Structure 1
Amino acid sequence: MNLADLWLRISAQIVEVAYRLYGEAPKADSVRTLNLSEESAEVLGQGRAKRAKAREEWSAAEAWVESDRFFTHENGEPLHPDWVSRRFKRLVELSGLPPVRLHDLRHISASLSLLQGNDIKVVQERLGHSSRQITSDTYTSVLPELARREAESMTSVIPRSVSYDVLRPLALPRKLFSDGMAVVYADATRNQDGVWTVS
């Protein structure tokens, strides 16, 4: 993890067997580098500083548990996935939000990213899906909204009629027309008040 350059790398996964945890290499598709927002990096930095302080305090009492984990209990002991899930569930209950599982946050994040207009390939790589098709199939409920937004964005760039004042009417000689059409070149300038003059 590099908080200064705003990235972290997923290169290991935790497997639970009979409530005991083991680290192992993830599937090849799951090894990836994720970009961090500045806010995320700031939160992780605060967590790192808090952990360093806890290590100092607990080490003085010879009670610090050394592990290679970033997220730990106050004494450095690794968090068990089951504890994290139960804690998350309790926090959701206390917040008054509708029931949501911890794993659902992954889907919410991907859906929001797609609705923000991010490319599905970028979302696929962040999720660690082996193909774009898997991401597309998983988030089909989001795609109609994306299609509607794309249609609206297309119409927004089409020029619309605007009100204008004719300062001097322009008459085009008949010889400029070919099959009822004429090519006209125009210059446009905008003054300090934002008014355009087209000539």
Structure 2
Amino acid sequence: MSLEDRMVIIQDNYVRANKELILKPYTKNTQKRTIHLFEDLVPILRKYELDKKKNQLQFGKYYNHNNFYFTWDDGRPFDPDYIYKSFKKSCKRLGYNELTLHDLRHFYVSVMLGRGDIPLKITQDSLGHSSAEMMGLNGHLMNDMAKKVFKGKTMGLLENHFCNPLII
């Protein structure tokens, strides 16, 4: 994570296989992925980093140091099942019962493409797509996303729950 450059580099992720958590390097296509952050997210993440440093001091030698950005207070990474269940719980509370985590990927594409000032290559690279044609595939999904997301509550969902995963 580089807040100065407003970017996140995805390089590791946990997956569940046979009831076991396995650390997999990189992403689905085995390449690191760079995601650019919107400017207004930086102060929220700076506060999170400050809180994380306080936790490191509080837990001392018991803090679990790793490369994961979002973790429990003691540094342990979140279990993917916890993320999924928390997301579904938040969606249900806000009336988005059909919304999925993958829908947020399509929402991201729609926002990026809808702005009109972001080069297609940046959106393509953020998603790990090998070609710009894949953007068209995601673009047609906008109508389905609009039905699920654009009910006036989306930003509340994102701001209140995903910027601080422990609220969920």
Q: TM-score, normalised by structure 2?
A: 0.70
Decide whether the 8 Å contact of 1:115 with 1:142 is kept in 2: no
In structure 2, distance between residues paired with 1:116 and 1:56: 41
1:87 partner SS:
helix
Per the TM alignment, residue 107 of structure 1 is displaced from its structure 2 partner at its CA by 0.6
Q: 2:14 is paired with a residue of what secondary structure?
A: strand
CA contact (8 A) 2:91 2:97 kept: yes
What is residue 134 of structure 2 aligned with on the other side?
Answer: 134
Q: Residue 96 of structure 1 corresponds to which residue in structure 2?
A: 95
Alignment match, 1:33: 34
Structure 1 gaps, min length 5? 144-199
Per-residue CA distance 1:39-65 (angstroms, 9 max, x = gap): 222222111111111122223xx6433
- Partner of 1:23: helix, strand, or coil? strand
| Structure (1 or 2) with the larger CA radius of gyration | 1
Given the alignment of the two structures, is residue 9 of structure 1 paired with residue 6 of structure 2, yes or no? no
1:63-102 matches, within 5 Å, as: 63-102=62-101
Corresponding residue for residue 112 of structure 2 = 113
For residue 46 of structure 1, what is the aligned residue in structure 2?
Answer: 47
Q: Aligned residue pairs: how many?
A: 140
In structure 1, give the amino acid aligned to 2:33.
R
Q: Secondary structure at the match of 1:110?
A: helix
CA shift digits 1:94-133 (9 cap, x unpaired): 2234531122111111112222224433321221111111
2:34 is paired with a residue whose SS is strand
Stretches of structure 2 that go unaligned for 5 or more consecutive residues are 144-168
Give the distance between the partners of 1:20 and 1:31, measured in 2 at CA.
20
Cα distance, 1:142 vs. partner?
4.9
The verdict on how the C-alpha distance between 1:104 and 1:127 changes in structure 2, with shifts beyond 3 A counting, is same
- Counterpart code for 1:49: L
CA RMSD across the alignment: 2.4
**Aligned in 2, Cα 1:24/1:141: closer, same or farther, shift over 3 Å?**
closer
> Residue in 1 aligned with 2:24?
23
How much has 1:90 moved relative to structure 2? 0.9
What secondary structure sits across from 1:103 in the alignment?
helix
Tell me the distance in 2 between the aligned counterparts of 1:34 and 1:58. 30
Q: Residues 66-107 of structure 1, C-alpha deviation per residue, up to 9 Å, x if partnerless?
A: 332111112211101111010111112222345311221111
Share of identical aligned residues, percent? 26
- Between the aligned partners of 1:23 and 1:122, the Cα distance in structure 2 is 24
